Amino acid sequence: MAHPLLSPEGGATHLLLGNEAIVRGALEAGIQVVTCYPGTPSSEVPDTFYRLAPNAKYKFEYSANEKVALEVGGGASLSGAMTLTTMKHVGVNVAADPLLTLSYTGTPGGMMLLSADDPGCHSSQNEQDNRYYGRLAGLPVFEPSSAQEAKDMARDGLLLSQKHESPLLLRTTTRVNHLRGPVEFGPMPAPGKPEGFTRNPAKRVPIPAFARPMHERLLKRIAALREEAEKSPYNKIHGTGAIGIAASGISRAYLADAIMETGLAGKFKVMELGFSHPLPENMALDFMKSVDKLIVIEELEPILENDLRVLAQKNGLNLTIEGKGLLPPNGEFTVTMVANVLRAQVGEETFACDSCIPAELPQRPPNLCAGCPHRATYFAARKVFGDDAIYSSDIGCYTLGLLPPLSMADFLVCMGSSISAGCGASLANDKPVVAFIGDSTFFHSGLTGLASAVFNNHDVLLVILDNHTTAMTGHQPHPGVEMTIHGANEHRLDIARACEGLGVEHIRQVNPLNQKKTTAALEELKEMSGVRVLIAREPCPLHTRRVYKKTAPMVAYVADSCTGRAECLDKLACPAFYKEGDKAAVNPILCSGCMLCLQVCTHIKSKKRGR
Amino acid sequence: MSDIKPIRIMLTGVGGQGTLTATTLLAKTVLAEGLPVTSGEIHGMAQRGGVVESTVLIGCKSPKIGLGEADVLLGFEPLETMRAMPYLRKGGLVLSSTEFLPPLSVAMGKQENPSLETVKEVVAQCTDKSFYLPCQTLGLEAGAVQAGNLALLGALTATDAVPVSLQTLAETIKSNLPAKIVDVNIKALELGVRSLENT
């Protein structure tokens, strides 16, 4: 049976994840090319396209990083293909260079950039507000608040982008990407073939002489898009009160529930902006003139608030505007927070949360899985370097090595920074620097840093944690993988050869589950200077189970001779272990059979699984 | 949408327990009842043994539940039930599993879990409406430990807290889960209902 998302018919209603709704919307627009680099909370968009790809007509790729993804997408759109490129918010920093020029060259096939922002830092290193990129690059910005809107805006955003030959920013936040709601499908026409490339260097090659008129065209385009925002069904005014509220994105959902909760519908007039940039100035001006006071409700930065303040000042409006003074510029909102703002405006008592707060409880932080090869690499590296080295970390599951007892992350900046920031640390320290990077991150942005490290003869040991997949974000393929859900990777890049090609002279390759060889290789590399690379190769056990369809035949158990020394518990922190009385024990269901623990203690033995 | 009394259901459990599958089944059941539904989840770390919190909201637009906003708390693990208590509004309903999945620090003997009695005391300070089920045991009795989550959903339909019937939930299971595990899960539902009725 064909997947419901690929149904050509409209009319049916399905409960969809926000990210699945975006996929359906793009399909309804006739999407032809999809590119991405995965990252929470955006990943289910490309992962769904990837899973459906064998039965669908679009072209799909996991690119090596976000810049590459946007450039591949840009090239496709310049050649007339309707294109979607997806990434998480910090990925747009990586892709900012092509983004700011694609807005000059234009994107004739239509091009939508999904930026999945993460207020609350559920799975990110910062809370940056990518609506600023819409302003910086001069792009139209859509901000959905429900699954239905995610679908409709993905479709209409692509069509609008095509009409104006402008990239469009579909800006979501974690709550929108990961909500589920009913979505009524529209029809899905066949995508047809891209129009193909039309030569016009004056419009597509931004040398200074051409870039200046391109900028003029961009300014005209922004004016035209402002007209579109004025009449967009995603921008609407409702309610009758004397106090105005302007809201965008998911805050519109919090606001709707807060109005229902407080029963204050008659007191407030609401302007909802789903098509939030360029600001529909006439609409906003009329709205501000019709109220005595304006409250702006938006998560993160005061972007809409500042736009409205400027507009009011320019037009000499004498009305009070409040926003970030009432609600914070960090973290997520809740319905109660918004409801309390409404209550305070009409002089009602605010709601103080009186729910019970339990005493401090044992925490449950995420942990490296049982059998994770990163644990083995870290265990060996700690044995060889102890607290004497500086550990430069990177982004992936292995960042979890930060937690004790492994404690193998001293600093982290961004994707690929382990190598380059590690080089910097070596300039200012006498201690050895050990940098850790995953295989996907290495292809994402480690290669350039490594080339620079070799050229500048830095003194750094790089450990590449090659678990054959992009584990953290949901096991997406990257250039170095052997296997994918659709079969073998026929164009696999070999990491050791890549390092060799970049001029690294000292390269060792080990299976980290072999502690003796791993420790020996680290000892050897420790005595050398310059750029050295250890590649620790062993697939992620989850990936092994899912894609290689393999389970290790043996599991570990603790023999009765256990002395209760507990080195296994204290130093490995493997979730398959537990303490039973004075002794250690292994849960055979959780044990993946990696046999690292057998190399740590002689009282740990192996037996056939299931015995 | 406005004439439906909003109901906010918070679900909490441990990564790998199937909390998100249960959440999606409940959301689909609400939709099958013809009610407006929004559901939310925070994952990413879910597979690595962390806490998994999710929501099902009836008659609301927001997918999020803030502190003191939940009408119902479904705890698939008692330590997580206790941790999530700040989300429950005073007097809300709690349905919780009684069977602990100790976090690493407890398993390693570095910290101690609260006792089930302590969990119940904390819950009782906030509400007098609570029910406890041995979910994993019920799941095993039905035929698979993971089906224990469905026992908790079954028990929920036996309360008057949500306008969702056992029959619609069973239909949703039939049309959404692989055929070979449908019977086990339906049996778990029934065990959950019976367990609640016997309390």
Q: Where residue A272 sits, what CATH number does that domain have?
A: 3.40.50.920
pLDDT of residue B1: 44
Q: A577 vs B102: CB contact, 8 Å cut-off?
A: no
Cβ atoms of A393 and A436 within 8 Å: the answer is: yes
Cβ atoms of A47 and A474 within 8 Å: the answer is: yes
Question: Which of A202, A230, A258 is at the close of a domain?
Answer: A230
Number of separate domains in chain A: 4
A224 and A246 share one domain: no
Q: A 82-141 residues with CB below 8 A of B?
A: 122-123
A121 and A211 share one domain: yes
Q: Which of A182, A542, A577 sits opposite B108 (nearest CB)?
A: A577
A315 and A386 share one domain: no
Contacts of A182 in chain B (CB under 8 A): 31, 36-37
pLDDT of residue B199: 75
A364 within a domain of the structure (yes/no): no
A212 — phi, psi (to 5°)? -60, -50
Query: Which residues lie below 8 Å from residue B156, measured CB to CB, with a gap of 6+?
Result: B9, B26, B72, B74, B95, B162, B164
The stretches in chain A having pLDDT less than 50 are none
What is the spatial distance between Cα A481 and Cα A543, in angstroms, rounded to a whole number? 11
A68 and A217 share one domain: yes
Strand-strand pairing, A235-239 and A141-142:
unpaired
> Distance from CA of residue A250 to its chain's centroid?
18
Contacts of B12 in chain A (CB under 8 A): none
Contacts of A253 in chain B (CB under 8 A): 38, 60-63
> Which residues are paired to A85 by β-bridges?
A35, A113
In angstroms, the Cα distances linking A416 to A397, A447, B46, B74, B134 are 14, 8, 24, 41, 46
State the nearest Cα–Cα gap between A550 and chain B, in angstroms: 18
A351 within a domain of the structure (yes/no): no
A435 within a domain of the structure (yes/no): yes
A570 and A463 share one domain: no
Q: Does A174 touch chain B (CB under 8 A)?
A: yes
A357 within a domain of the structure (yes/no): no
Q: B126 vs A337: CB contact, 8 Å cut-off?
A: no
A250 — phi, psi (to 5°)? -65, -20
Cβ atoms of A366 and B45 within 8 Å: the answer is: yes
**Three-state secondary-structure class, residue B122:** helix
Query: Which residues lie below 8 Å from residue A485, measured CB to CB, with a gap of 6+?
Result: A50, A51, A546, A547
pLDDT of residue B2: 47
pLDDT of residue A469: 96
What is the spatial distance between Cα A43 and Cα B65, in angstroms, rounded to a whole number? 23
Strand-strand pairing, A554-558 and A604-608:
antiparallel
What is the spatial distance between Cα A205 and Cα A309, in angstroms, rounded to a whole number? 37
Query: Which residues lie below 8 Å from residue A437, measured CB to CB, with a gap of 6+?
Result: A394, A416, A418, A419, A446, A462, A463, A464, A465
State the nearest Cα–Cα gap between A342 and chain B, in angstroms: 17
Name the token pair of B95.
């349905």
A530 and A566 share one domain: no
State the nearest Cα–Cα gap between A15 and chain B, in angstroms: 7
What is the spatial distance between Cα A61 and Cα A283, in angstroms, rounded to a whole number? 40
Which CATH number does the domain housing residue A524 bear? 3.40.50.970
pLDDT of residue A227: 98
Q: Does A397 touch chain B (CB under 8 A)?
A: yes
Q: A 348-377 residues with CB below 8 A of B?
A: 351, 353-359, 361-369
A159 within a domain of the structure (yes/no): yes
Residue of B nearest to A148 (CA): B38
Q: Which of A182, A357, A366 sits opposite B37 (nearest CB)?
A: A182
Q: Which of A122, A179, A182 sits opposite B44 (nearest CB)?
A: A122
Q: Is the ipTM of this complex over 0.90?
A: yes
A563 and A494 share one domain: no
Contacts of B114 in chain A (CB under 8 A): 359, 361
A287 within a domain of the structure (yes/no): yes
Question: Which of A230, A250, A272 is at the close of a domain?
Answer: A230
Interface test with B, best of A42, A146, A364 (most B CBs within 10 A): A364
| Length, in residues, of chain B | 199
Contacts of B89 in chain A (CB under 8 A): 355
The stretches in chain B having pLDDT less than 50 are 1-2
Question: Which of A546, A567, A590 is at the close of a domain?
Answer: A546
Contacts of A366 in chain B (CB under 8 A): 15, 45, 48-50
Contacts of A375 in chain B (CB under 8 A): none
Residue B104: closest CA among A569, A347, A200, A279: A569
Q: Which of B14, B43, B90 sits opposite A178 (nearest CB)?
A: B43
What is the spatial distance between Cα A408 and Cα A380, in angstroms, rounded to a whole number? 11
A356 within a domain of the structure (yes/no): no
A114 within a domain of the structure (yes/no): yes
A322 — phi, psi (to 5°)? -130, 145
Runs of H (alpha helix) within A398-506: 417-427, 439-441, 447-455, 495-501
Cβ atoms of B9 and B70 within 8 Å: the answer is: yes
Residue A280 DSSP one-character state? -
Cβ atoms of A295 and A323 within 8 Å: the answer is: yes
Q: A355 vs B85: CB contact, 8 Å cut-off?
A: yes
> Which residues are paired to A238 by β-bridges?
A270
Q: A577 vs B114: CB contact, 8 Å cut-off?
A: no
Runs of H (alpha helix) within B6-71: 19-32
Q: Domain range spanning residue A393?
A: 373-546
A263 and A390 share one domain: no
Domains and CATH numbers, chain B: 7-100+114-197 (3.40.920.10)
Q: Is the peptide bond before A278 cis (omega within 30 degrees of 0)?
A: yes
Contacts of A124 in chain B (CB under 8 A): none
Name the token pair of B78.
């008692």
Residue A247: closest CA among A182, A170, A335, A350: A335
Name the token pair of A68.
């590459």
A201 and A316 share one domain: no
What is the spatial distance between Cα B18 and Cα B176, in angstroms, rounded to a whole number? 14
Name the token pair of A563.
């002395």
A506 and A600 share one domain: no
Name the token pair of A104.
């000059």
A587 and A516 share one domain: no
Q: Does A250 touch chain B (CB under 8 A)?
A: yes
A569 and A537 share one domain: no
